[in-house]
């Protein structure tokens, strides 16, 4: 397929290169930050509208809701280059409510829209093992599935309505944040009590407390190695989406709110671009322990 890809950051770049390696033609907008390997792998065009003109399918992988809106509907945006029948796939993690509105505007142009946010971080993007949560028409999902299978392993059509994929991703981010907080508290408790947190983690990995977060982020926490796989500021954004939607629905997410405050503590101390496992820094400081 002729694939337009917009948003070539930590995760978007390896996702796009995996599509190229699978034999698809890659079309990307020109940016000063565009890496040499992408310039060699892709057809580089002037802007998002030109990407949409040249592509059958346009994939977005952008940081936040306003970025998606700007790229889709701003000056020289994707919408300006669309013709009927093209497929737009937004793999960013953004507002489910805004997603419904974006989809309606794209549908009005005779095109089809899928929201397909992902989980798995940079590691999953590079290894093509992302979890992909999709909202939108089943026929469009079937059309996109061969592309999803190049980028991920656990691929689910969550629902036939646009926004269903984003709702699933918000739920995922709640679980991930609270589990990071739980692992951080447990390892800090062990360290404060005088036990070796590395050995505690090793023991817990064999029991009911075992999890992928204990395995991967637990090791990061013990080593204080917080090079970003998924930045705190992006997880903050996702929890803000959860809390905002909860307010609209008249429900409480008390533990999600606490996790958001923990992230905010780390951000206030200059850690916005650290990996989200750095949440443990807030817990350690509350325990009177050095980093």
Q: What tokens were used for 54? A: 């040249």
- 197-204 and 164-192 are packed helices; what angle lies between their axes, rounded to 10 degrees? 130
* C-alpha distances out from residue 215 to 171, 218, 291, Å: 21, 6, 20
Buried b (16+ CB within 10 A) or exposed e, 23-46: ebbbbbbeeeeeeeebeebbebbe
Kindly report the CA angle at 34 between 33 and 40, in degrees rounded to 5?
A: 155
In angstroms, the CA 187 to CA 202 distance is 11
Q: Which of 236, 240, 234 is nearest to 95 (CA)?
A: 240
Assess contact for 166 and 115: CB atoms under 8 A.
Answer: yes
Place of tokens 């142009």: 109
For the question of residue 169 being annotated catalytic, the response is yes
Catalytic residue among 20, 32, 86, 169, which? 169
**Per residue, what are the HEC states of 235-288?**
HHHHHHHHHHHHHHHCCCCHHHHHHHHHHHHHHHCCCCCCEHHHHHHHHHHHCC
Q: Mind telling me the catalytic residues?
A: 169
């Amino acid at each position: 397929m002729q694939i337009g890809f917009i948003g070539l950051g930590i995760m978007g770049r390896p996702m796009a290169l995996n599509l190229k390696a699978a034999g698809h033609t890659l079309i990307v907008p020109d940016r000063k930050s565009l890496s040499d390997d992408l310039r060699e792998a892709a057809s580089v065009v002037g802007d998002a509208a030109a990407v949409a003109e040249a592509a059958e399918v346009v994939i977005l992988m952008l940081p936040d809701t306003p970025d998606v809106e700007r790229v889709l509907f701003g000056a020289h945006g994707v919408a300006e280059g669309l013709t009927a029948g093209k497929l737009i796939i937004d793999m960013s993690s953004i507002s489910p409510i805004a997603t419904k509105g974006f989809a309606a505007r794209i549908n009005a142009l005779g095109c089809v829209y899928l929201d397909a946010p992902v989980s798995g971080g940079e590691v999953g993007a590079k290894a093509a093992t992302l979890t992909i949560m999709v909202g939108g028409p089943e026929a469009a999902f079937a059309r996109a599935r061969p592309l999803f299978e190049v980028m991920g392993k656990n691929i689910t059509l969550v629902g036939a309505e646009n926004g269903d994929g984003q709702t699933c991703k918000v739920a995922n981010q709640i679980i991930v944040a609270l589990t990071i907080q739980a692992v951080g508290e447990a390892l800090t408790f062990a360290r404060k009590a005088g036990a070796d947190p590395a050995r505690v983690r090793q023991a817990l990995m064999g029991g009911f407390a075992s999890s992928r977060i204990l395995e991967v982020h637990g090791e990061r926490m013990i080593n204080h190695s917080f090079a970003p796989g998924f930045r705190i500021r992006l997880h903050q954004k996702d929890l803000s989406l959860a809390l905002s939607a909860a307010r609209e629905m008249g429900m409480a997410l008390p533990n999600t709110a606490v996790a958001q405050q923990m992230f905010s503590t780390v951000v206030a101390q200059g850690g916005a671009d650290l990996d989200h496992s750095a949440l443990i820094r807030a817990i350690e400081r509350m325990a009177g322990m050095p980093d």
